[in-house]
Structure 1
Amino acid sequence: MQQKKELNIQMGSRIRKARLQAGLTQEAFAELLNLGPKHISAIERGIVGLSMETLQNICQVLHVSADTLLFGDIETSPADALCQRLGRLSPEEFAQMEEIVNKILEIYVKK
C-alpha cells in the first residue's frame, strides 16, 4: 500500500466534507466525475493524489474552489449548501424547483 501524504489526507478529508455538504453519496459523486466509487474512497482517505484535471472536475461538481480544497475553510451556510445542490440540477429540474420555492414563498409573504 502506498504511504499516505499529509496533503492528500487533508485534501481527501476536505473533499469528503464538501461532498457530504453537497448531499452526494460516493457512488453519485463518482458517477458525476466518471470515476469508480473505490477511486473516490481512495481519494477521500488520502491514499491517492489527484491530477489537475480531476481536481478541476471535483471543484466544478461540488461548486467549490481549488483553494478551498487545498487550504480548507469550506464552512458554508445552509443557504450556500442548498445553492450548491440546486446548481447541480438540470435546467428543467431547476425550473420545477424554482416554481415550487416561489409558491412556498408566496405563502409566507401573505402572512
Structure 2
Amino acid sequence: MKIKPYDYAPVGERVKNARVMRELTQEQVANYIGVNSKHLSSVERGERGLSISSLMDLCKFLDIDADYILFGTITRDNNNPFNKLLLQMTPEQSQYAEELIKVYAKSCGIFIK
C-alpha cells in the first residue's frame, strides 16, 4: 500500500493563526512545547509536522482542540452557553445533563444514535 504524502500547509496555517490570536511569539510557543523556534516556524510554513506529544502540548498551551489544528473543525466552543455550564460541572453532573438533553431532544422528535 502506498502512503499518500500529507499536506501540512493547512495545519501550519491554523497553528500560526491560533498563536497570533493569543499574541504569542514563536519562541514562547516553541519553548513551551519543547521544540526550537526554527522547527515551529517550519511547522507554521507547512514544511514539517509535530509529534503527538508536541501537538498535545500545543493544544494545552493555546487552549485549542486538536480537531481544529488537524482538521479545521471546532468541536469545543467555550463561548457556547451549554459548554460554559458543562465546564463547571463534575463528570457525573455532565453525564446527567447529557441524559436530560437526549430526553428533551427525543421529545422534540430529534433522535440521537
Q: Normalising to structure 1: TM-score of the pair? A: 0.58
Runs of 4 or more above 6 Å deviation:
none
Q: Normalising to structure 2: TM-score of the pair? A: 0.57
SS at match of 2:46: coil
1:5 deviates by 3.8
Aligned residues: 73
Describe how 1:26-37 pairs up with structure 2 within 5 A. Answer: 26-37=26-37
Partner of 2:102: none
Partner of 1:72: 72
CA contact (8 A) 1:12 1:43 kept: yes
> 2 CA distance for matches of 1:68 and 1:13?
11
Describe how 1:52-67 pairs up with structure 2 within 5 A. Answer: 52-67=52-67
> 2 CA distance for matches of 1:29 and 1:51?
15
Partner of 1:50: 50
Give the structure with the higher percent helix: 1
Describe how 1:90-109 pairs up with structure 2 within 5 A. Answer: none
Unaligned runs of 5+ in 2: 80-113
Q: CA RMSD in A?
A: 2.2
1:41 aligns to 2:75 (yes or no): no
Which structure: larger Rg?
2
Unaligned runs of 5+ in 1: 75-79, 81-111
CA contact (8 A) 2:30 2:37 kept: yes
> 2 CA distance for matches of 1:51 and 1:67?
15
> 2 CA distance for matches of 1:40 and 1:66?
16
With a CA cutoff of 8 Å and minimum separation of 6, indicate the structure with the bigger relative contact order. Answer: 1
> 1 CA distance for matches of 2:36 and 2:22?
19
> 1 CA distance for matches of 2:20 and 2:45?
14
